[in-house]
Structure 1
Amino acid sequence: MEDRLDDFIHFLVVEKGLSKNTIVSYKRDLNSYITYLKNVEQLGDLNGVQRPQIVHFLGHLKDTGKSSKTLARHIASIRAFHHFLLREKAVDHDPTVHIESPQHERSLPKVLSMEEVETLLDSPKLTDHFGYRDKAMLEMMYATGIRVSELIGLTLSDIHLTMGFVRCMGKGSKERIIPIGKTASDAIEQYLEKGRPKLVSKKHKDDSLFLNHHGKGLSRQGFWKILKRLATEAGIEKELTPHTMRHSFATHLLENGADLRAVQEMLGHADISTTQIYTHVTKTRLKDVYTKFHPRA
């Protein structure tokens, strides 16, 4: 079973070109699935899997407190795995045919108000090289809506300030070009002039745009710590994650009349239905404003 899983993961990496995080998610889900089949269902061959075994596994996940969203993700992983096995003629049937994904409400993303964004963007103190770096990172995130993995993956050659755009690699190694406004361009230019040179290591060369104090590319965890600290210093009490900046970027664009297709392209969404969640956010915010300020609301 483990060998078949290795073949599937290789297929996702080489032929599908999925991101590292997506691959890790597939592997984690399917490892728990295979472990259950072997230890609980006492199966030694994937061709012996039938619909009841998958239903039992999903019931096991539910009993351990897993959410409907997590169950749906496991089902998607299992379904893709068995489709691959059938295509490779490793099995003679697909036991996932009549397995339905649980319905779950799509939660609206948390966003900052424009005032909160301004406060956060002004929080880095431009008194040292770290301040210039942090300012440039925040301005970049809000100006482009890129994911944190895309932010820390940027290299010096991805930035084109004179032409006003940044090139980034999104999910599935798909490249996209996103415009950068003057404010973000100025912050990045200042960082390149006054911040990054003091972070560069003499021992090794790293072309990453944003460096840590060791002169290496900043990690997701490193950015997360910086964001939490700056949010605390800015007095922002809302739950704030790196994705909050992305959500705020999209919501504020739509609130100010941006075209949904354009926002979809800038966010790198494959399906416009993913982008449409932000139209619900803007409607909810408008309703809140109406209720708060209209005298007869």
Structure 2
Amino acid sequence: MGLYNEEVYNKANINNRNFLDDYILELKSRGLSEGTIKQYKNDLRGYICWIYNNQNDMFLLDLKRRDFRNFILYLQEMELSNARINRFQSSIRGALEYALLDDDDYPEYIQNPMARIKSLDSKAVVKEVVFLEDKQVTFLLNYLLKSKQYQKALYLSLSYDSCGRRSEIYSVTKDGFLTEGVYKTLPVKGKGGKVFPLHYSNTTKDIAKLYLEARGNDSVDSLWINERGKEKRQISKNMLYLHAVSLRSILEAEYNKDIPMTSHSIRHFGLQNYQDGTHSALKFMGKDKLELDMLKILAHHSNISTTEGYLKNVDNDLLDDLFQG
């Protein structure tokens, strides 16, 4: 049975097609095989066509549990095998889990309705969390500054200092960075409709000065623009993701191993290093480290348990200390 139709897909909701492009980019960054990525892509393109024909071309992330259940019932009525239906479920569930976990891109998405729909094989894709040490972040910043990649350096430094989500970082404008004594951005919109500025250290401010001086005068308000060509314009949010992924090759050349960091990784290791007392911005703050309640505020989390989930699990280390003999 073929759900995918090229003509239909090209007319389908642009938000669904953009979401699929984002997800495929994420799968590539995880190092999945071309065959596996093709499977996910084919399944999801077919489902997007089905949404166009049967669910008023709604945005995938606006669909409810009953909508996904109706699709599964349709597949059963078409007498597909359980294995084939489970594959569809797995593809859709994985895409929704990506939207749920990566609150950089989809901050309003707070629940995966597919999580409660059982299947014969409900294994979820596990996303590896990368924690860089402060000295590794410093190495990256020095490398980028030495090679005059100021925009990437600013993106990394601002993300590392503020622990902001990528969607929040993307919303930052260039205004205010050159104001003496000010170490925060203009307010941005965060998850759940919250509005707040992102705070940063003197390191980020110094990099911003280098970047804006090299950038020169233009009429684009966004902090992030294309750096090639005569006409300056804001880059896509995907480009910030690619900025982060591009750092992997620099790390691999220096440390002789693949460190699969993404834009969301920066949020994890930023918070972790603040807690460990190793974050370079702590000296600027005059602090030895940040406690969990302050990390919650910095991350703009509604629940402290969410903040805990961003940090390393040290339970086994604590037990080792108790039973040293």
Question: How far has the Cα of 1:269 moved from its partner?
Answer: 2.3
Gap change, CA 1:50 and 1:226, over 3 Å in 2 = closer
2:306 match: 274
2:295 corresponds, among 239, 263, 284, to 263
1:223 match: 240
1:283 match: 314
Aligned residue identity for 2:310: Y
What is the alpha-carbon distance in structure 1 between the residues aligned to residue 96 and residue 220 of structure 2?
A: 39
- More contact order relative to length (CA 8 Å, sep ≥ 6): 1
What is the alpha-carbon distance in structure 2 between the residues aligned to residue 271 and residue 36 of structure 1?
A: 39
Residue 120 of structure 1 pairs with residue 176 of structure 2: no
2:30 match: none
Question: How far has the Cα of 1:249 moved from its partner?
Answer: 0.5
1:238 corresponds, among 259, 279, 282, to 259
Question: How far has the Cα of 1:118 moved from its partner?
Answer: 2.0
Residue 165 of structure 1 pairs with residue 165 of structure 2: no
Quick check: 1:139–1:183 contact (8 Å CA) kept in 2?
yes
Aligned residue identity for 2:235: L
Quick check: 1:155–1:208 contact (8 Å CA) kept in 2?
yes
Gap change, CA 1:119 and 1:71, over 3 Å in 2 = closer
SS in 2 for 1:64: helix
Gap change, CA 1:51 and 1:36, over 3 Å in 2 = same
What is the alpha-carbon distance in structure 2 between the residues aligned to residue 259 and residue 67 of structure 1?
A: 38
Quick check: 1:62–1:71 contact (8 Å CA) kept in 2?
no
2:170 match: 152
SS in 2 for 1:269: coil
What is the alpha-carbon distance in structure 1 between the residues aligned to residue 176 and residue 192 of structure 2?
A: 18
Aligned residue identity for 1:63: R
Question: How far has the Cα of 1:181 moved from its partner?
Answer: 1.1
Quick check: 1:68–1:104 contact (8 Å CA) kept in 2?
no
SS in 1 for 2:86: helix
SS in 1 for 2:314: helix
Quick check: 2:151–2:211 contact (8 Å CA) kept in 1?
yes
Give the structure with higher Rg (CA).
Answer: 1
Moved more, 220-229 or 111-120: 220-229
What is the alpha-carbon distance in structure 2 between the residues aligned to residue 110 and residue 223 of structure 1?
A: 17
Quick check: 1:254–1:282 contact (8 Å CA) kept in 2?
no
Q: Percent identity over the alignment?
A: 18
Q: Which deviations, in whole Å up to 9, do the C-alpha atoms of 1:222-277 show, x marking residues without a partner? A: 23333333331343521011111111111111223422232222222233322121
1:139 match: 157
Quick check: 1:112–1:248 contact (8 Å CA) kept in 2?
yes
2:222 corresponds, among 195, 198, 208, to 208
Moved more, 157-166 or 62-71: 62-71
- Flag structure 1 segments of 5+ consecutive residues without an equivalent: 1-8, 10-19, 39-48, 77-95
What is the alpha-carbon distance in structure 1 between the residues aligned to residue 152 and residue 172 of structure 2?
A: 15
TM-score normalised by length of structure 1: 0.60
What is the alpha-carbon distance in structure 2 between the residues aligned to residue 251 and residue 140 of structure 1?
A: 16
TM-score normalised by length of structure 2: 0.55
2:8 match: none
Quick check: 1:210–1:218 contact (8 Å CA) kept in 2?
yes
2:194 match: 174
What is the alpha-carbon distance in structure 1 between the residues aligned to residue 153 and residue 87 of structure 2?
A: 45
Aligned residue identity for 1:169: K
Aligned residue identity for 2:165: R
Question: How far has the Cα of 1:136 moved from its partner?
Answer: 1.7
Quick check: 1:255–1:282 contact (8 Å CA) kept in 2?
no
2:270 match: 249
Gap change, CA 1:156 and 1:125, over 3 Å in 2 = closer
Question: How far has the Cα of 1:52 moved from its partner?
Answer: 7.5
2:285 match: none
Quick check: 1:224–1:241 contact (8 Å CA) kept in 2?
yes
What is the alpha-carbon distance in structure 1 between the residues aligned to residue 152 and residue 95 of structure 2?
A: 37
Aligned residue identity for 2:267: R
RMSD: 4.4
Aligned residue identity for 2:243: I
Aligned residue identity for 2:233: K
Aligned residue identity for 2:293: R
SS in 1 for 2:131: coil
2:286 match: none
Question: How far has the Cα of 1:122 moved from its partner?
Answer: 1.8
